[in-house]
Each structure stands twice: as C-alpha cells, then as structure tokens.
Structure 1
Amino acid sequence: MPSRLSIKAMQYFLAAVDSGSLTTAAQKLNVAPSAISNGIDQIEEEFQLDLVQRFPAKGIHPTTTGKTMVQRIRRLIEEYESLLSGGKELRESLSGKLTIGYYAPVAPSFLPGIAAPLLNQNKDIRLEFIDCNNESAQTGLLNGDFDVILFVADNAKPGIKCEALIDAPPYLLVPKSHGLASLDSVSFHQLQEVDLVLLDLPFTAQYLQGLLDENSIKPRIVATASTTEMVRSLVGAGVGCSILNMRPLIDVTYGGDRVKAIPLKTLRKPLALSLGYINRNPRRVVSTFIKSCLDYFGQDSARALTTKSEYTSRRE
C-alpha cells in the first residue's frame, strides 16, 4: 500500500522532540496540540515503531529508536526545505542556462541583438541556441529540450503558448542586375519564365510549393539549398531568383554580390514568426527573454527584416 506519511507529520514530530512538549510544539507551529499528537501517531503507525515516550507531567522524550529516526527525518526535512529554496531561486533568479530552439532562417540578423543586452546585464545567464526545423522546435519544447522557441506558428501543437513577433510576407530575391530589380513589386505571372533557387527546408518547401500551385506557376527549379545564405549566394551569383520571407539587414551575400528583395503580390497571408513557450510558471530568465523578444520586434527597426506586404484577399 502507498505510504500515508506526510512532510507535515514529520515536521510536527521534529518540533515535538526538539521542544520536548506537545503544547510548546503546537504554539511554535501555530496548530492545536492534537495535530502534533496525530502527526507523531502517523509516523509511529507507518513504521510500526515506538518513537517517543509521553509523560503527562514531563512532556515527551524520544526512545532509542526514536533518536535514530530523528536524525534521518531531520536530514529528509532539510533536503525538502533545500529543494523548495532551490526551486524558488530557480524560478526567481536571472541565472542559469536558457536553451532556445529556433526555426528562423535569418535569426543571426536579430537574435544576437536580443541576446547581447540580456547577457551584458546578467552575467550568470548562459544562452544556448539550437537551429532546428519548425516541427522539431515544437517537439523539443514540449519534451523539455528547449525553454523557448522561435517558429512559424501555423498549426502550433497543443500546449504551446504563442506570442506573434512579426508578419513575414513572401518576396522575390533577385540579383541587383536582374531585369525585375527595378520594380517596386512583382506578381506571380511574372515568374513563369524565371529560374528559381528553392530554400529546401521541411516547412518552407511546402509553403513555397503552395504559393506556386495556387498561382498555377511551374517555374524551373535550377537549384535547392538548405540554408538561406546559400540561397542568397546562389541568387547573387546569377544562378536564379528565389522566394523567401525574412531577410537579413544587408543586401550583400557571402560571395560579395548584391541582391534585392522585391515584394510579391499574393493571395496568401504572410507567415507569422512567433515565440513559443510552455505557459506554466516559466522561470524568470525565460520571462525576461520573452519580454526582450517582444520589445525588439515592437520597434520600427525590426520591420527591416521583412518587405512590405502585398497580400490581397482577391485576384486582381
């Protein structure tokens, strides 16, 4: 049968033994003497041992066996109180490791700017950033591998609290010298003859294929890559154009070529980059990071990470 022994009963037992009196122990803990007596009875019944001797005029004294149990119970109570104290410190302190899973291909453009002030002001924090896809980010959060995630919140898994950060409409990335580079926006029918470089990530590839299918466009896919910077470098080198959602703050690729982001006219709503976390008493360091992200994306400067939305609810 499961034990009925409670922490409270053990605390009552220790108080009675330490004070040598049920009445004094009861006054110290602000309970009735009968509660102290019942706590002692509970422990003796659980172990089937006589742990104290009760003298009407002289109070109570531990038996030889009781003295051994006092030592063990005291260590257990000290561990319990240390656990409570440690849990409170973990919840309230700005310290410890914060693990962030992110599915945001241009995260290096903004995450360091969010992290630097937090780390500079709180020397006991250590951040761990883990690049992942949209599915594994959510799974990792729910499994306890991540404290917080950045991801696209379309069809977010149950149990994840989402905070929208920024809408990221699709845009066409072209070499600076491309014929379309002079336009303020482009429509999908202008892409029929355009060679495309595809960002081949699980969620992104499906999203891009949906854009092409709903516009009845079948462009030639000349190359695929699994990182945004490889896609940008291929575009800059003149291999083709690409459809992306977020952009870095510079228009130069790793190869030194200049590229341009042109808003795309589309019937599909922008993707929403979101913050995800488990909304059950998060640690203070988690809450602080969440606030830092919301503050960053609340600034006008964050809009430089996306292009102007050309979303329309009906075909032109």
Structure 2
Amino acid sequence: MATRFTLRQLEYFIAVGEAGSIAQASDRVNVSSPSISTAVAQLEDEFGLPLFVRKHAHGLSLTQAGKRFMEQAKKVLAEADALNHLAGDISGSVRGPLAIGCLLTFAQVVLPAMRRLFETNYPDVRVSQYELHQLEIFEKLRRAEIDVAISYDLDIPADLEFIPLRELPPFAMLDEEHPLAGEAVVSVEELQKHPMVLLDLPHSSEYFLSFFTKIGVKPNIAERTRDMAVLRSLVANGFGYAIANLRPQIDQSPDGRRLRFVPLVGSVRRLRMGLVVPEGATNVLTVQTFVEHCRSVVDDWGFPGLPLPKDET
C-alpha cells in the first residue's frame, strides 16, 4: 500500500526537529501546537517510526531514525519548491513559495513594506521571511533554505551574488544630551573620546570597528548588544553613541526617548544595501520578479515609508 503524507506534515516535522519543541515550532510556522502535534503523530503512524524522543523538561529531540528522516524530508520539500518554480517558469506566471531573508539590523524598517506590496501584486506567491545575521544569510542561501536575502555588501563570498540597491552613509546615533548631539557633522576622532554602544553582530561589528582601526585608535566600548531596538534604547538613555547606516523614520527609541542622527565625515566607508542570491538564482522567475520589485521600490521611494536623508535625494 502506498504511503500517504503531505508536504505540510513534512514542513511541521522539520520545524519541530529544528526548534526542539512543539511550542517553538508553532511560533515559527504560525500554526497551532495541536495541529503540529497531530501532523507529527500522523507521520510516525504512517511510517511506523519513532521520530522524536519526548522529554518532559527538555522538549523533543530527534531519534536516529528521525535525523535520517529529516534529511530526506528537506530534500523532498526542496524538490517540491523546484517543481513550483518550474511550473511558474513554464507558464510564465509568478507563483509558488519564496523564502526571503533579511539582515537583522533593518528587517523591521525595510522588509515588511517591501513584502506587503510584492504580495499584493503577486498573490499566488507564498512568502516566508527570516530575520538573520550575515553569516546565517550565507549559510541558508547555500543550503537553499532561503531564495534571496536583503543585506549589506559585507564580505559577500565568491559563490554568492550581490545585487546593489542603494548606498547608505554612516551616522552617529546620539541621545539628546550628548555633547555632540547639536553638531551638523561628526568625525570618528571626536566619537573616540566618548563611550560607544556596539551592535555586536557578525560582519557588522567588524565594519563599525574598522572606522577606528583605519585611523589607529580604539573605541571606548561601554555596551554591546545584538538587538537593534535595544541598541537604540541604550543610546537614548545615555549609555553611549552608536553607529548606524539606516535611519528610522521616527527618531525615537522603543521607550519613547529622542535620538539624534549626525552624519559621519572623514574616510568612512558607505555601505550598499542590496540583494544576496545564489549564482543563477535570478533565472528563476519568482526570484527575478522579486529583484525587479525591490529595484522599483527603492528607485521610487528610497525605502517604503522612509524619506531618504537629504544628501541621498
């Protein structure tokens, strides 16, 4: 008798295997916990395999059979995605799944509006998004877990392609009472004398610190964080300045305190925001259409809902 299972069941199973718990998998795929539990139980019944060891205090862990099963399940989903892409290319319609990664530092500012307009224009595309740091973007693109990512041109490896969208200058982010808050521009030499809050993400932190290395000085790092919202709050509450390349529309921290953004001058490298894709990915119609959509959005608006800095217009 033929084995019966659905791609959705495999998707839920993989989510549980990677998350280690039903609850976390539920948050990840935005499906109720009972639905995920049922899907996993149905797979175990259908194949006659125990896929997980259930530990009350420590969630779920894959059995040896479950690990091998997950490897194959990922291949099945990848092949199903490839069939969807192929069908779209043959029919000339933009349809099927599209997994988009976005760098953590600006995921909340750029991706939602860009995605909303794309889904409105192409309702047959099923978009999923992932907020990642730069190394995770590279890894997931290579494993075909995402199709395209919005990121900066930070250390892009040779096996991935970078498609530039917009050049962004660096700013010093300051609280209202900071001694440099009233300046029209500020140099790295001036910042070096004050405490710094560092956005401590792979590749991003190296970029910010390179400003100081280039002039032979060390910053006074007072705080480190991997979260952009926490960074803004630490700065707004006087723990130090930070450096950023994307200015939010509202110059406020999450707790409502005011921020000042002062352009950095001197020998400071601008970053380019763009799309990172595997080689040949733009031959896929859905990916190609998303690339063209992003170019159009950036050309027309600068960023969705975000006016460009004066020197960028």
User: TM over 0.5: same fold?
Assistant: yes
Rounded Cα–Cα distance in structure 1 between residues aligned with 2:247 and 2:111: 13
Q: Which runs of 5+ in 2 are unaligned?
A: 1-81
Q: Who is 2:256 aligned against? A: 256
> CA–CA distance in 1 between the matches of 2:180 and 2:249?
21
Establish whether residue 107 from structure 1 lines up as the match of residue 107 from structure 2: yes
Aligned match of 1:298: 299
Contact 1:248 1:305 in 2 (8 A): no
User: Offset of 1:168 from its aligned partner?
Assistant: 2.0
In 1, the alpha carbon distance for the partners of 2:84 and 2:96 equals: 12
1:220, CA displacement in angstroms? 2.2
The percent identity for this pair of structures is 25
* Inter-partner Cα distance in structure 1 for 2:235 and 2:84: 52
CA contact (8 A) 1:172 1:262 kept: yes
**Structure 1 residues 202 and 86: alpha-carbon distance in aligned structure 2, compared to 1, 3 A threshold:** closer
Query: Match for residue 274 of structure 1?
Result: 274
SS of equivalent to 2:88: helix
Out of 87, 90, 113, the residue aligned to residue 88 of structure 2 is 90
**In structure 2, how many angstroms separate the alpha carbons of the residues matched to 1:195 and 1:127?**
41
**Corresponding residue of 1:123:** 123
Alignment CA distance shift 1:85-1:132 (3 Å): closer
- Map of 1:287 onto structure 2: 288
| Counterparts in 2 of 1:211 and 1:96: CA distance versus 1, 3 Å | same
Q: CA deviation at 1:87?
A: 6.0
Could you list the runs of 5+ residues in structure 1 that have no partner in the other structure? Answer: 1-83, 310-316
Distance 2:276 2:233 in 1: 31
Query: How many angstroms does 1:186 deviate by?
Result: 0.4
Tell me which residue corresponds to 1:39. Answer: none
Give the superposed CA RMSD. Answer: 2.4
Per-residue deviation, residues 22-54 of structure 1 (Å, max 9, x unmatched):
xxxxxxxxxxxxxxxxxxxxxxxxxxxxxxxxx
- What amino acid sits opposite 2:286 in the alignment? V
1:153 equivalent to 2:161? Answer no
Relative to 1, partners in 2 of residues 1:87 and 1:225: Cα closer, same or farther, differing over 3 Å? Answer: closer
CA contact (8 A) 1:169 1:308 kept: no
The AA in structure 1 aligned to 2:296 is D
Corresponding residue number in structure 2 for 1:134: 134
Q: How does 1:219-258 map to 2 (within 5 A)?
A: 219-258=219-258
Q: How far apart, CA to CA, are the structure 1 residues paired with 2:97 and 2:146?
A: 10
The answer (yes or no) to whether the contact 1:168–1:270 under 8 Å persists in 2 is yes
For residue 194 of structure 1, report the CA deviation from its aligned partner: 0.9
Cα-to-partner distance string for 1:216-252 (whole Å, 9 max, x where unaligned) = 3333211111011110111111111111121222101
Measure the CA separation in 2 of the matches of 1:225 and 1:147. Answer: 28
> Distance in 2 between the 1:193 and 1:259 partners?
19
Q: Distance in 2 between matches of 1:163 and 1:238?
A: 37
Does structure 2 conserve the Cα–Cα contact (< 8 Å) formed by 1:167 and 1:270?
yes
Letter of the 2:135 partner, please give it: E
- AA aligned to 2:283 is P
For 2:202, the equivalent position in structure 1 comes to 202
Tell me, what secondary structure is at the counterpart of 1:105?
A: helix
Rounded Cα–Cα distance in structure 1 between residues aligned with 2:290 and 2:281? 16
TM-score, normalised via structure 2 length: 0.66
Rate the CA distance shift 1:97–1:217 in 2: closer, same or farther, 3 A. same
Q: Equivalent residue of 1:177, what SS?
A: coil
> Following TM superposition, by how much is the alpha carbon of 1:187 offset from its aligned partner in structure 2, in angstroms?
1.0
The aligned length equals: 226
**Alignment of structure 1 residues 7-46 onto 2, 5 Å:** none
Distance (Å, rounded) in 1 between the aligned partners of 2:121 and 2:298 = 20
Deviates more, 1:142-151 or 1:215-224: 215-224
Task: Supply the distance in 1 between the matched residues of 2:119 and 2:192 (Cα, whole angstroms).
Answer: 48
Q: Which has the larger radius of gyration?
A: 1
User: Aligned letter for 2:88?
Assistant: L
**Matches of 2:191 and 2:226 in 1, distance apart?**
22
Do the aligned partners of residues 163 and 306 (structure 1) sit closer, same or farther apart at CA in structure 2, a change above 3 Å counting?
farther
